[in-house]
Structures are given as structure tokens and as C-alpha cells.
Structure 1
Amino acid sequence: MTDLMPSVGYRRNLPVSDPESLVDVELPVPLPGPNDLLVRVEAVSVNPADTKVRANVAPADGEVKVLGFDAAGVVVGVGSGVTRFVVGDEVYYAGSVGRPGSNARFHAVDEHVVGHKPETLTFAEAAALPLTTITAWETLFDSFALGKGSTGTLLVLGAAGGVGSMVIQLARALTDVTVVATASRPESRRWAEDLGAHHVVDHRDLVASVGAVAPAGVDYLISPFTAGNIERYAEIVRPRGHIVAIDEPEGLELLPLKAKSISWHWEFMFTRPLFLPTDPTQHDLLEQTARLVDQGRIRTTLTTQLGPINAANLRRAHELVESSATIGKVVVAGFDR
């Protein structure tokens, strides 16, 4: 291992069309802390969180900020306090927004948020899963408090996206809820149906289309696109129902939900890494997900693979994600040196 490693980062908040929006750099290989793994990164995936940080979070003056949350790779070093992993383990994880990212040849990550990679998946296939799996899992089993035998109706907006794809799969694998997914394009509808949605409806007339398959309303709703939809949600969610939002709309007004006593939840998968750093929940759920994958009950959501990991390919991946038209996940895999 050399002292420097190829990495991709940015110095200024620029549109992805600008060649300087993401650049190739050489940075020191990180030293793992007591609870850290040092991972040789083999694949990363790009999420809306990556594009939002690149566009809005300015690096410190003169410094390069390295992005990247989802990653899969091989453990090449461990901190003195690590108990769950050994050198040579293949792992996957989503990391923390509070630390340098995974768009680098080597990455230091706390073992509490890392899982062993599903044995039946390639590194690229595994890298598609962690962030969206954690978001979906925390939504279903923390916020909605669902479990084995849980019933009711779950509405998944943006079902062909990364999070929606995992919500459908985990809900079908681990609960008995009826899954209603929204999609508008034929290819998005087919994707949601293939993942197990009981019904797929058009989000462009949300109240009428949901009412056609769930006339009594829905018990649970996951919202990745909240702005302008609260009054619609108030119509289609049953009294005492629950909504989880994964976006951050400005000027949000929730009063229309009061009459039905609808509960509102936020889901931010970095809450645990930021505020509960020794909580092993994300490690545990990634381990459970890996078993579900290896049992054939959950599948990867990788649909587009680019490579190798460099600035040009990551700019292309960011561009695809920013289009909001992608189905599943975009992964960038491999280093050419």
C-alpha cells in the first residue's frame, strides 16, 4: 500500500456539467481509528445525497471534499477496538455524512455501520444496496414499527427509485402489508411489479389512482417528493396513519394532517452514525439483508454500471441521478491503478 491513493472530490460547488465539479486527486491513505475498518474500495454507488452535498456543501478553503457513501470492498486493516471483522472480509456499507467519503481507493469506516457483503453478489451489485436498504429498513421497522404479520396498506411513492425499490422488497419479504407503488412510465411500472408491488398506480393523479385500489385509504406512506403533496396525503392516508418523508422540502406546512391525527416522521439514515455512533443497528440490519439476498428473497437494485472509479465516470453517475429518471441504482466500480 502506498502513502497516497487515487480519490475523487471537489473544491467548489459547481453544476455537474462543469469538469471541475468532480476532479481526480491523490490523497493520503487514511489511518483507521480504534473502531474503524480500513477498506480497499471496489465499487461505489451514487445517491441523491451525493449530488445534494456536491451542490450545496462547500469544502474548507483550499481543501478537497471527497464524496461517496455506499461502498463495497475488502477489509485491509482494523482498529484496535474492532470485534466484528478481520482483514480479508468482504464488506458493504453506507458510511457517514460526517466523515470523508468512499470515492477513494481506501476508506476508513466505523465497524458499527458495516455489514458483511452478501456472498452471492459482486462488489458492484452489493454497492447498490446499503444506503437505500438502511433508509427503507428504518422507515418500515423503526418509524412504522412493522414486523412479521403486520398488515395494512403501504403506499410507496417513487417506487422505481433506489429507496422505493428496497421498501417494496423488504415489505414483501418481512411483513404482510399490501404494497401500492407509484410509477408513470411503462418501464418503471414493470420494475415495481417485478419487485413485488401488489398494485402500481400513476402518481400524476395520486388521489384518484390510489383511491381506485385502496378506497379506504392507506395506513403508511413513504414520501421522497413531499413539496406540494401534503393536502393530497391528508386525503389518502387513513385516520391515525403514518407518513415518513426522506426529503427536505422548504416551508413545509403539516396542518392539513391534523384532523385525521396522521403521524409525521423524518427518516435520515445518517442520524445513527452522527448521533449514536456505537449503535450497532445498521450493522445488524445489513447482516440480515445479506442473508435475505443470499436466500434469494432480496435482489440487487443495480441497473447501470460504470467504471473505473474516476472523476469522469462519477460526474456521469451524478448526472444520471440528478435526472430523476433512473430506475434502481447507478454504480461505479473498479480502479484502473
Structure 2
Amino acid sequence: MKAVGFKTSLPISEEESFIEFETAKPQPSGHELLVKISAISVNPVDFKIRQNSAKGTVLDTPKIIGWDAAGVVEAVGENVSLFSVGDKVYYAGDITKPGSNSEYQLIDERIVGKQPSTLADEAAAAMPLTVLTAWEIFFDRMRLSAERDQNKTLLIIGGAGGVGSIAIQIAKKVLGLKVIATASRPETIEWCQKMGADVVVNHRNLVEEVRGAGFQFVDFIVDFVDNNGYWDAMAELIKPQGHIASITGSAVPVALNKLKSKSVSFSWEFMYTRSTYQTDDMIEQHHILNRVAQLLDEGVLFHTHTHTLHGLSAETLKQAHAQLESGTTIGKWVIKY
């Protein structure tokens, strides 16, 4: 089968930052599905792993990355019970295993969902990683509920990106929160409003902007951009006994003591935790993807696919990664095979 990968970490402008190669088509066992991929999308995790996972070394075998796909089940392992050959599926995958930048992929059925029936392959491929991240951060990490938290305030830092785009929708349509999202360019402000944000503020002067919009404190904050860069602002803006969550990590210790006087909770979200550690509740990602597929098919949520490239190749992946690295992407970029 055809695949695209890399042997060393190079700037995306370098000729061999991605290379095309042939490799054996894998065979499923256990809970694995063999999926013939129809479309993939790209996320910041892709370029971060490309930049760092083979730095200063040359791998013997090219590394295949990519963690969003839509496709058709071609074969199943002996323990598979959730899917059958011919099912259309979508999923974000497992960061510890070969990714989706290939013609076929093995994927554990417990982290796969039925593809939304109303979406084209490219729109479906845009959704899994971002919906899993947003759903988990709200429901599994922050433990929010529509019954208890409806009409409370949520600040989303990074409203126009892939995760922010679907997080605005889930927060509004599923949880009933009042959403404040950050954006700075006219096109990103318009996008956040289209997603359903009640208020859009500039991230460059976050405390002043939020308070200028009439909010002294907010009940909840989610960071999808830069935990360190916004930490002081988040600590200032969060309401006493509120909750902050982040997906962006930190190269230095997080100053949790700044939250102590307000008794504020803090959570990390890492979408790959369940698959990496084979947690007892790993199948929750299957359930989340199916629930979101239902919400997409019902028109409660809508896809965030904004741009399509065509064909699995080193060139299309270079274009997609260059766009993500620019930091100006709105919604999700997809490669249709």
C-alpha cells in the first residue's frame, strides 16, 4: 500500500520533510479493524510530532503520522463485535501506532465511530480528534452538565481553530453555556460568531477585553492555544470555585498556587490517554463518536471542514502542514484520497 511518512524531523520546506513509500498492507487481529481510508484531516499534533519525534536521527523505516480519518471497514479481527465489513467509519486513532497518512490503517474498534450519514467523507474526516477533545474536556475532565451549568459563562481561548470551532458548538448547543471566544482577525471573529459564540474578544489584551465585554469573572475557561502564555490572565478571570482546563501542555511547572485562594480546579485533557493506556473505559470514545454523529445528522452540530486538498502525496501533506504551522488556519483542512 502507499503511505507518506518521514525518516527525520525537517522543516516543512525541505524536500524530504515527507516522503512517499510502499509498505505491506496490514492484517487485523483481536479488536482491530482494517480501514480503507477515504479522507484524512490534519491537526497541530501532526506537525508537532513531525518536528520533534525524529530530531537529530534518521529512522530505518519511515514514520507514518496522522490522527483523523474517514473510511470503509475492509476486514476485521476475530474479536470485533461493533462493526462489520463495509461499514463507513470515522476516528482519531492511537498516537502509539502508525497513523492515517496511508491507504489502509489498523485501528481498535473501541475508538472508532459510525460515520455520520449526512456528511461527505471529507467533512467526516475533519471531526474526530476535535470532537473527542472538546467532548472529553467538558464532560470527562470538567464534569459539566446542562442541568447544573446551563447559562453559566465559558471562556474559550482559541475559538477559530479546529477544537475551538466544535467546542463553541457543544458548549452552546449541548450544554447551554454562555460562550465567550477569543479571536483577533475579522475572518476569525466572523467564524466564531458563525459557530455560535455569544461574545468574541481579542486574546491580545484578554483581561481587559473580557471585562470590557461585561464579565468580571467567568465560571469556566478552556485553553486551546498556550497554557503558559495565558496563565496569569486565566487565574485573574476565573470565578472563585471555577474550573480551568487545557490541552496545550507546559514546558515549565504550572503555577497552580495562583488558583489556591479562589479554590479553582484545573484539569489537563489529552485525547490519546484512553488508547495509550488501554483504559477500562476506552470504549467511551466509540460512544462519543456515535453520539456526535447523531448530533451532526440531526443538524444540532455542524462540521468544521473549510478546505480540501486532493490525493495522498508528500506534496499535499506538505501544503497542509505548512498551513497549520502558519497559525492562521480557520476550521479544518482535509485531504481527500
The TM-score bracket by the shorter chain reads over 0.9
The one-letter code sitting in structure 1 at the alignment partner of 2:46 is: D
Indicate how the Cα distance of structure 1 residues 277 and 112 shifts in structure 2: closer, same or farther if over 3 A, else same.
farther
The question of 1:158 aligning with 2:154 is answered no
- The whole-number CA distance in structure 1 between the counterparts of 2:172 and 2:58 is 44
Render the CA deviation track for 1:255-280: whole Å, top value 9, x for unaligned. 22222122111110000001135521
The one-letter code sitting in structure 2 at the alignment partner of 1:27 is: T
The question of 1:24 aligning with 2:27 is answered no
The question of 1:14 aligning with 2:10 is answered yes
Displacement of 1:60: 7.2
The one-letter code sitting in structure 1 at the alignment partner of 2:181 is: A
- The whole-number CA distance in structure 2 between the counterparts of 1:228 and 1:192 is 21
Structure-1 residue corresponding to 2:259: 257
Over the aligned positions, Cα root-mean-square deviation in angstroms equals 1.2
Render the CA deviation track for 1:111-143: whole Å, top value 9, x for unaligned. 000000000101100000000100000011111
Structure-2 residue corresponding to 1:67: 65
Write the mapping of 1:32-181 to structure 2, written as runs, cut at 5 A. Answer: 32-58=28-54, 61-149=59-147, 150-151=149-150, 152-181=152-181
Displacement of 1:52: 0.6
The one-letter code sitting in structure 2 at the alignment partner of 1:257 is: L
- The whole-number CA distance in structure 2 between the counterparts of 1:137 and 1:312 is 33
CA contact (8 A) 1:243 1:263 kept: yes
Displacement of 1:233: 1.0
- The whole-number CA distance in structure 1 between the counterparts of 2:164 and 2:298 is 21
Render the CA deviation track for 1:183-239: whole Å, top value 9, x for unaligned. 101111111111111111111110011112342311111112112321111110011
CA contact (8 A) 1:227 1:252 kept: no
- The whole-number CA distance in structure 1 between the counterparts of 2:254 and 2:139 is 26
- The whole-number CA distance in structure 1 between the counterparts of 2:132 and 2:254 is 27
Helix, strand or coil at the partner of 2:240: strand
Helix, strand or coil at the partner of 1:28: coil
- The whole-number CA distance in structure 1 between the counterparts of 2:279 and 2:30 is 13
Helix, strand or coil at the partner of 1:95: coil
Write the mapping of 1:265-276 to structure 2, written as runs, cut at 5 A. Answer: 265-276=267-278
CA contact (8 A) 2:228 2:254 kept: no
Helix, strand or coil at the partner of 2:295: helix
The one-letter code sitting in structure 1 at the alignment partner of 2:203 is: H
Structure-1 residue corresponding to 2:201: 201
Helix, strand or coil at the partner of 1:29: coil
The one-letter code sitting in structure 2 at the alignment partner of 1:234 is: A
Helix, strand or coil at the partner of 1:100: coil
- The whole-number CA distance in structure 2 between the counterparts of 1:198 and 1:88 is 41
Matched residue count: 330
CA contact (8 A) 2:161 2:330 kept: yes
CA contact (8 A) 1:112 1:277 kept: no
- The whole-number CA distance in structure 2 between the counterparts of 1:12 and 1:55 is 9
The one-letter code sitting in structure 2 at the alignment partner of 1:233 is: M
- The whole-number CA distance in structure 2 between the counterparts of 1:138 and 1:181 is 19
- The whole-number CA distance in structure 2 between the counterparts of 1:253 and 1:289 is 32
CA contact (8 A) 1:230 1:256 kept: no
- The whole-number CA distance in structure 1 between the counterparts of 2:184 and 2:296 is 28
- The whole-number CA distance in structure 1 between the counterparts of 2:77 and 2:36 is 15
More divergent stretch after superposition (277-286 vs 323-332): 277-286
More divergent stretch after superposition (210-219 vs 168-177): 210-219
Structure-2 residue corresponding to 1:323: 326
The one-letter code sitting in structure 1 at the alignment partner of 2:115 is: K
The question of 1:284 aligning with 2:287 is answered yes
- The whole-number CA distance in structure 2 between the counterparts of 1:251 and 1:306 is 37
What TM-score, normalized to structure 1? Answer: 0.95
Displacement of 1:144: 1.5
